[in-house]
Structure 1
C-alpha cells in the first residue's frame, strides 16, 4: 500500500476512534455524576485536563497576546455553561438521548451563523433541520408520546449554547494568528477555576468528592479528562492539518451513531418504536443538513462578501470544536 494511502487510512481510523470516544462520553458521565455532584465532577475533570495540558501550555502562554487570552477566557466561560447544562441533563435523561439531542448542534450552528451574517442557507437545509427536531420529539417520547423530560430540555439547551460557543470562537479567532492549543488550554483552565469556585456552593466540593471516589469512578473521570479531551484534541488538531476539513467533519459527524450504539449496547438504554424512529430522523436530518451546509459554503467560497472578505464560516466548525 502506498505511504500516502496508509497515512490517510490511519487518519480516518483515528478520527473514527475520536468520534466513538466522544459518543461514549455521555454514558461515562452518567455513570459518574448525580445531581448533587455535577459541579464537583466537572471541577475535577477540568482540573485533570488543565494539569495534563500545562507542560505544553507554559511556553505557548508566554507568547500569547492580551486579545488571545481574553478570547480564550471568554470561550471558557461559555464552555462552562455548556457543560453545566449538558452534565445536569445527563443526570436526568438517558445516555442515548443525550448523545443524539446534542448532535442538533450540527444544524443549530449554521442557523445561528446565517442569522448573524444574514447569509441564508438553501431552503432544503431548513427541511433537514425540521427533520432533526422532529426526531428529538420522537426520541424524547420513548415508548409513547409525552413531553420531553427535564434532562432532554437541558441537553437541548446545551446544544444551543454549544452553537453559540462555536460561532463566537470563529468570530473571535478567524484570520488571527491565535494558537489552537493555547486557546484550548485557556478554556479548560477557565472552566476548571469556575467549577472549583462554584463547587462548595452547589453541593460537594472537588476535594470532598475526590476523597469519596472509588477506583472505577476514577477510571471514568480520567477517561473523560485524558481520553475524551486531551487525546481527542491532539488527534483532531493533527488531522485537520494533514487532511481536508470536510473529511474530518464527515468522520467526526458519526458521533451520534456511536452515542446510540454505546447507550443501547453498553448502557442498557431501550428504544421503543417512537424512539428508534426519532433516532433515525436525528441522524439523517443532522447528516443531511451538514452536507447541505458544507456544499453551500464551498459553492460560495469563491464569491467575496461585500467588504471583500471571504465568508467567515468554516465548513468544519460544527464538528471541530467539540467542547469535550
Structure 2
C-alpha cells in the first residue's frame, strides 16, 4: 500500500483532489470575505491550519534546522504575496480578468522550471500548456476582455509569484520533511496576514457567525490538509505538471457552484474545462516517449 501511495499516479490523484477542494472552497471563501475582511480571514484561516499541522509535529519543531526554517519561510512569503496581489487586483479589475491572468502561472512555471531547475520541457507538455491556456481564456472571456488596467498588472504579478511558489516547492519538498515544510509555509502566511493588519492600521475583528463555517472548513481542508498534500505529492511530479493540474481549479469551482449552489453551468465552463482536462491528460502521454520515466520518477533534467 505504501508503494502505491508513493507513485506518480498517486501524486496526480491527490493533487487533483486538492485542486477540487480549492475549487469547492472558492464560493465559501467568496461568501466569507463578503462579511469578514480579507487579511483577518487569511490570518485566522492559516492560523487554524498551522495549529492542526503543529499537532502532528509537537516538540520536533525544536529540531528544525536553519535551512528548513528559511525554506518554509520563503514558500510562505510567495504564498502570502500571491494571495495579497490577487486580492488587491480584484479591487481594480473583473473576476474574469483576474481568473485568466492569475491562471497564467501555468505558462510561467515551465519557464522558471527551465531557468531555476534546469529541466527541459517535453514537446507534449508545451502542447498541453497551449490547450490549458486556451481553456483558461475561454473560461474567463467577456465582451470587454480587451481592456487592461492596473488590477490586471497586479494579477500578472500574482501569477508570477505563484509560479515561483510551485517551482521552489518542487525543489524544497525533495530535500526536507514535507509535513514540517507545509507547517512552516502555512504559519508564515498567517503571521504575515497579522502583520498586514497592523501595517494597514486595522485590527483583527471577531469572526461573524456567517463566516465561522468558512474559516473552519478552509482552515482544515483547503489549508492544513491541502497544503500538506501539495507539499508531499508535488515532489513526485514536475512543477509544470502540477501547474497543469492546478488549472482545473476554476473548472471544479464552476461544477460545485452548479451542483451545490444552483449556478448556471455555461458552455464556457464545459468547453474551457474540456480543453484544460485534455491538456492535463496529454501531458501524461510523454511517458510513452521516454523509457527513463517508466518507474514514475521524474528525470531531473527533463520535465
Task: Identify whether the pair has TM-score above 0.5, normalized to the shorter chain.
Answer: yes
Residue 57 of structure 2 aligns to a residue in which SS?
helix
RMSD: 4.4
2:272 is equivalent to residue 279 of structure 1: yes
- 2:182 pairs, out of 172, 181, 184, with 184
Farther-moved stretch of structure 1 (25-34 vs 134-143): 134-143
Q: Which residue of 1 aligns with 2:196?
A: 198
Q: Would the alpha carbon gap of residues 269 and 261 (structure 1) be closer, same or farther in structure 2, given more than 3 Å must change? A: same
Residues 49-86 of structure 1 show CA distances to partners (whole Å, capped at 9, x for unaligned) of 22222232332212211111111111111111122134
Q: Would the alpha carbon gap of residues 115 and 17 (structure 1) be closer, same or farther in structure 2, given more than 3 Å must change? A: closer
Q: Which residue of 1 aligns with 2:20?
A: 20
Structure 1 residues 126-165: aligned runs within 5 Å: 126-142=126-142, 146-147=146-147, 154-165=154-165
CA distance in 1, matches of 2:107, 2:163: 9
Q: Would the alpha carbon gap of residues 89 and 288 (structure 1) be closer, same or farther in structure 2, given more than 3 Å must change? A: farther
Q: Which residue of 2 aligns with 1:31?
A: 31
Structure 1 residue runs of 5 or longer lacking an equivalent are 303-309, 316-324
Deviation of the 1:222 alpha carbon: 0.9
Deviation of the 1:113 alpha carbon: 0.5
Structure 1 residues 308-323: aligned runs within 5 Å: 311=300
Q: Which residue of 1 aligns with 2:78?
A: 78
TM-score (norm 2): 0.73
TM-score (norm 1): 0.69
Deviation of the 1:136 alpha carbon: 3.4
CA distance in 2, matches of 1:202, 1:140: 31
Structure 2 residue runs of 5 or longer lacking an equivalent are none
Q: Which residue of 2 aligns with 1:321?
A: none
Q: Would the alpha carbon gap of residues 133 and 106 (structure 1) be closer, same or farther in structure 2, given more than 3 Å must change? A: closer
Q: Which residue of 2 aligns with 1:320?
A: none
Deviation of the 1:159 alpha carbon: 3.3
Structure 1 residues 1-12: aligned runs within 5 Å: none
**Contact kept in structure 1, 2:124 and 2:283, CA below 8 Å:** no
2:287 is equivalent to residue 295 of structure 1: yes
Residues 117-148 of structure 1 show CA distances to partners (whole Å, capped at 9, x for unaligned) of 45432445334323333333333333565436
Residue 142 of structure 1 aligns to a residue in which SS?
coil
**Contact kept in structure 2, 1:23 and 1:262, CA below 8 Å:** yes
**Contact kept in structure 2, 1:171 and 1:312, CA below 8 Å:** no
CA distance in 1, matches of 2:165, 2:225: 21
Residues 146-204 of structure 1 show CA distances to partners (whole Å, capped at 9, x for unaligned) of 43677666555433312111212333454x3x211111111111111111011133364
**Contact kept in structure 2, 1:106 and 1:286, CA below 8 Å:** no
CA distance in 2, matches of 1:263, 1:152: 25
**Contact kept in structure 2, 1:36 and 1:202, CA below 8 Å:** no
Q: Which residue of 2 aligns with 1:218?
A: 212
**Contact kept in structure 2, 1:102 and 1:156, CA below 8 Å:** yes
Q: Which residue of 2 aligns with 1:227?
A: 221
Q: Would the alpha carbon gap of residues 180 and 276 (structure 1) be closer, same or farther in structure 2, given more than 3 Å must change? A: closer
Deviation of the 1:239 alpha carbon: 7.2
